């Protein structure tokens, strides 16, 4: 005796397809999020290193060139360290509700040994202790 299951595969596909599509969207969204976060981290590190090598220049012009984000970059320069933080909205966070809506990256870079021009640009007095001949 043979039985015909006409339409059974179609019903099973209709039940399983939405679950597979949601899983696929989640994986693609997470991949997009981690890709953008990695690129943003690389840009943050590059900006911190560049500002550390050129401390006498205006760092905000570099920040505007590197970050197309509406929040831009926050750059703090102290005596020995450059600290850069970039906040960008995440497209993946908008697509997949479980992912963060903002990507925040932070990087630091050490300034090279201070020279007279760098110290003057930073407004830091020259280290004392040098003995004149």
Total count of domains within the chain: 1
The first and second tokens of residue 40, run together, are 């943003």
Domain residue limits at 116:
8-122
Reported as a single tens digit per residue, the pLDDT across 58-83 is 766 666 666 667 767 788 888 788 88
Tell whether 98 is covered by a domain. Answer: yes
Tell whether 128 is covered by a domain. Answer: no
Contact 108, 83 (CB under 8 A): yes
Reported as a single tens digit per residue, the pLDDT across 13-46 is 999 999 999 999 888 888 888 888 888 888 888 8
Is the pLDDT assigned to residue 132 strictly greater than 50?
A: no
Q: What is the pTM of this model?
A: 0.64
Q: Cα-Cα-Cα-Cα dihedral of 90, 96, 98, 99, to 10°?
A: -20
Tell whether 95 is covered by a domain. Answer: yes
For 17-121, list the strands marked E by DSSP: 73-77, 81-89, 102-110
Tell whether 131 is covered by a domain. Answer: no
Tell whether 69 is covered by a domain. Answer: yes
CA dist 65 and 102 (Å) reads 20
Tell whether 129 is covered by a domain. Answer: no
Tell whether 127 is covered by a domain. Answer: no
Q: Cα-Cα-Cα-Cα dihedral of 36, 40, 46, 48, to 10°?
A: -170
């Amino acid at each position: 005796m043979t039985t015909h299951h006409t339409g059974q595969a179609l019903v099973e596909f209709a039940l399983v397809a939405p679950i597979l599509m949601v899983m696929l969207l989640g994986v693609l969204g997470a991949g997009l999020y981690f890709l953008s976060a990695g690129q943003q981290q690389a840009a943050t590190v590059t900006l911190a290193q560049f500002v550390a090598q050129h401390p006498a220049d205006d760092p905000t012009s570099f920040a505007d060139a590197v970050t197309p984000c509406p929040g831009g970059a926050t750059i703090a320069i102290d005596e020995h360290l450059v600290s850069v933080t970039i906040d960008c909205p995440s497209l993946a966070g908008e697509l997949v509700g479980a992912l963060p809506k903002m990507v925040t990256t932070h990087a630091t870079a050490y300034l090279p040994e201070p020279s007279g021009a760098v110290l003057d640009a930073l407004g830091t007095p020259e280290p004392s202790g040098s003995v004149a001949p």
